[in-house]
Structure formats: structure tokens, C-alpha cells
Amino acid sequence: MDPIVILLVGIAVILISIILLKLHPFISLLLSAIVVAILTPESNLIAYFITKGLASEEAINMSQKAVGERIAAEFGNTCTKIGILIAMAAIIGKSMLESGAAEKIIRSMLKVLGIKNAPFGFALSSFFLTIPVFVDTVIFLMMPLAKTMALKLKKNYLLLALSVIAGAVMANSYVPPSPGPLFLASAMNVSVGLLMVCGIVLGLCTISVGFIIAVYLNKKFDIPLRDTPDVSIKDITALSNKEDKDLPPLLWAVLPALFPMVMICIRSYYEAFKTPGMPISQHEWLNGLFDIVLFTGDKNIALFTGTVIALFTLLKYGKMDKTKLTAFVQQALMSGGGIILITASGGAFGGMLQQTGISQRIAVLSADFQLGLIPLAFLITMIVRSAQGSATVALITASGILAGMAQQSNLSFHPVYLCLAIGSGAKLIPWMNDAGFWIMCQTSNFTETEALKTITPMQSIMGITGLVLTMLAAWLFPMI
């Protein structure tokens, strides 16, 4: 069966099960993954596993695995990437709310930015934090602050939530050392430093457009801040009424989020710019110290350390009884566990779509397009992203198709513009087959319909804006 047909069937199953049958997203996504896996021919599976570097015999063995086993493997792969992060971030977020740390940060931000500029401050903060830090981690850590700010302002929750998302998703597509852009720089033979500079400039332009869209959507839709299993609006309101003397000092307030981000930053920049095989220093003690820093900079270890700091802050400044700490953590993990399950099932569905060979099928269909390279790069990435959900897979697929063209000597513009076009295309179109879509839904407490009406169009318009600006820059400043 053609991968395009399988894709359409998978989309139909998701839409019918969630919108019409009102099934829980976890069940709907697993059902769609099962349907897609059953419909995928063995020949497609063999071809897919060969593209992953397996020998023919190994690919045949993998293709003969049971449907449930293949789905469980992709489910587990997603959990491996985000399971600990989500669990730790859930504890950090709840701890920062309960201890008053989030309230302290909000009050400090308002003093510097003023109430009017607070939402755009959230967009800028999440943009620059996502450059070195995994995008989902930033959303997990910033969204509790958006909720607290919304209660402080008594309005504009949708604007604040969309501002966080707008900043985070654009940095994730444009600026190394975020994984996707870092891969693009290598595949397209573009300087990491040049892509960082160009990505930051384009990112700031696109999030400005995204912010304008968020302002419009905030006026059009009235999406309230809702109670969640881990924290109620009543609890946040009580914290917002506390006096300054009852809140943690600013350093302890920001440390649970700041420490992981700084350590991840250090490790990310080290891995991006290190010289293979060369030590950091000629001094053994300094190398040993840096090994400890790099160990702590692993995203899972960093978030775990942030969790320890958050719980300490809660005990010290939130005046929580130690006997209640276990129940507190259990409640936070129950909230995080639901997010993990939905996200992992989305990853399983995306993985089953990839095994159909959808990326290769789209590459064949687009091979003879007589379009300019920049819009072609955008179009290929957009189609692959929309089809199978993963922005990273879309980036890799598009770069594989266009890498040879990018290195042509007669190219009329610098290949960095192809990287930016691919990054722009990876923003379209986020929906139910994207694990990140579910993370945004769950952390913001938007329903699926609300997310499709707000997050999806905002990201898509930002991506289109990125394409337009990239084409304009390539015409005015070809850099060759």
C-alpha cells in the first residue's frame, strides 16, 4: 500500500477517534499507530530499516517483528528521550509554585519590564533559553510562570502561553546548538557560527510576528486558566497574595530552573565547538573539574539536580512539613505521568508513519519540482513534518535531499539560506501526530481543539514568515 494512503488513513483514524468519538488522546494515538503498522507492507519496513543502516538480513528480522513490539519500541524510544525530563520538570514546576518561587520571579520581572511588556518578555526569554536547552524542557519550566503571571494580571493567559511557545519553537528550528539546526549546519556544510547569527536574527523577526498573532488570538478566543491535577487556581491565587517577606529570595527562586539551564548550556556549547580528541586544558585537575560539569550538564542529570534544589527551596521557604513531601512528589508525578504517556503514544504513531517510508515517498514526489531551491526546501520540510510529526526527521529528510544542491558552485546565494528555509518549513503543520503538540496541550491545559485553533496557526504563520524573510534576504544579501 502506498505510504500516502496509509498516512491519510492514520489521519482519519485520529480525527474520528478524538473529535467524533471523544476518545482520550492516549488511546486514539495508539489506535492510529496500530492501524498504520498493520497497513504497512513488509517490503516498506525492510526498505525503511535499510535506510537506518541495517544490513539486509537484520532489516528482514526487524520487519518480521510483531506490530505490538514495533509500537512498544517506538513508544519506549520516545520515553527514553523525554520521560525523565517530563517527570523532573513536573516536580520542579509544582515546587516553584508551592514554594512561592514562581510568584517571586513574576514580581521581579514586572518590576523590570512593567506589566505591559511582560508577555513579550516571556517570548524573548523562552527563545534565548531554547538555544542551548531542549525545547520541551523550556516549555515545562516556563509554563508555570505564565500561569502565575496570568493570575497576577487577571487576564491574557492565552497570550502568555502562546508567547512562551512562540519563542521556544523558533529557536529550536533556527539556532545551533539546538539539535536540528546543528545537524543542518553539518549536512549543508555551513558554519555553525554563521547559522547562529542568521538564526537569531530571523528568529527574533518571526517571534515578533508570532507575538502579534498571539495578541490577535488572545482577543478572539477566551481560553481561561484551568485547574490542573497538580495545582489549582485557588492555590496559585493564595500564593499571589503573599507578602514579599514570605517568598523565597530571588536567587533561590530562580535556581531550580536556572541551574539546569546553565549546566545544559555549558555542555551544549562544549559539544558544539570542542576539538575531538583534545583535552580542555593541560592541567589534569581542571579536566577533572570540567568532567564533573559535563556530567551535571547532561539534560537528565541537570533536571534531577534542579528538582533537588526545588524541593529544598520548598522545604526551606515554602515551610512544607517533611512528612508531606512524599505525597507532594507523588501528586506532581501523577500529572507528569499523564503527559509522558500521551507524548510517548504520539511518538509511537509518528514512528509507525516513518516506517511506512513516507519520507522517501515524499522525496521521490518532490524530485522533479521545477521550483527555486529555497521554496523547494521549505515545501519538502513542511510536507514531511506535517506527514509524520517529527520536526527533526523533517529537517534530516530535507537536508538529505538538498545537501548536494547546497554545495553546487553555481548556487546564487549562501547555503545558510537553505538551512533557514528548512527550519521554517519544520514549523508547519503541528497537529496530533507531533509529540511536541501534546506537550504544549498538556502543559498549557488547552484542549486539542483550542490548540488547533491557536498553536497550530501561530506556528504555521511564523514558519511562512520565515520563508518570506529568508527569500528576501537571499535576494538582497546573497553573501557570495
CA–CA gap between residue 268 and residue 270 (Å, rounded): 5
Q: How far is CA 119 from CA 110, 125, 397, in A?
A: 10, 10, 35
CA–CA gap between residue 166 and residue 456 (Å, rounded): 11
pLDDT of residue 216: 95
pLDDT of residue 454: 93
Cell, residue 84: 525523565
pLDDT of residue 267: 80
409: pLDDT strictly greater than 60: no
- Residue 272: CB partners within 8 Å, gap ≥ 6? 176, 177, 182, 192
307 vs 196, residue with greater confidence: 307
CA–CA gap between residue 233 and residue 44 (Å, rounded): 50
Cell, residue 250: 530571588
CA–CA gap between residue 353 and residue 367 (Å, rounded): 21
Query: Which 8-state DSSP code applies to residue 410?
Result: T
Cell, residue 313: 527551596
Q: What are phi and psi of 218, to 5 degrees?
A: -65, -35
369: pLDDT strictly greater than 60: no
pLDDT of residue 208: 93
CA–CA gap between residue 1 and residue 39 (Å, rounded): 7
The percentage of the chain sitting over the pLDDT mark of 90, rounded to a whole number, equals 16
Q: What is the DSSP string of 138-176?
A: HHHHHHHHHHHHHHHHTS-HHHHHHHHHHHHHHHHHHST
76 vs 280, residue with greater confidence: 76
Cell, residue 195: 547559522
- Residue 318: CB partners within 8 Å, gap ≥ 6? 95, 98, 99, 100, 248
Instruction: Read off the pLDDT band of 235 (50, 70, 90).
Output: low
Query: Which 8-state DSSP code applies to residue 248?
Result: P
Q: How far is CA 131 from CA 118, 199, 426, 427, in A?
A: 21, 10, 16, 16
Query: pTM of the entire structure?
Result: 0.68
Where are the chain's structural domains?
79-179+195-337
Q: How far is CA 449 from CA 18, 60, 65, 167, 378, in A?
A: 10, 40, 36, 22, 26
Nearest residue to 2 (alpha-carbon basis) of 349, 350, 353, 356: 356
| pLDDT tens for each residue of 43-63 | 888 888 888 788 888 888 888
The CA-CA-CA angle for residues 121, 125, 131, to 5°, reads 150
293: pLDDT strictly greater than 60: yes
Instruction: Read off the pLDDT band of 230 (50, 70, 90).
Output: low
pLDDT of residue 47: 86
- Average pLDDT over all residues of the chain: 81
Across the range 246-272, mean pLDDT stands at 81
CA–CA gap between residue 164 and residue 374 (Å, rounded): 28
Are 373 and 415 spatial neighbours (Cβ–Cβ below 8 Å)?
no
Instruction: Read off the pLDDT band of 370 (50, 70, 90).
Output: very low
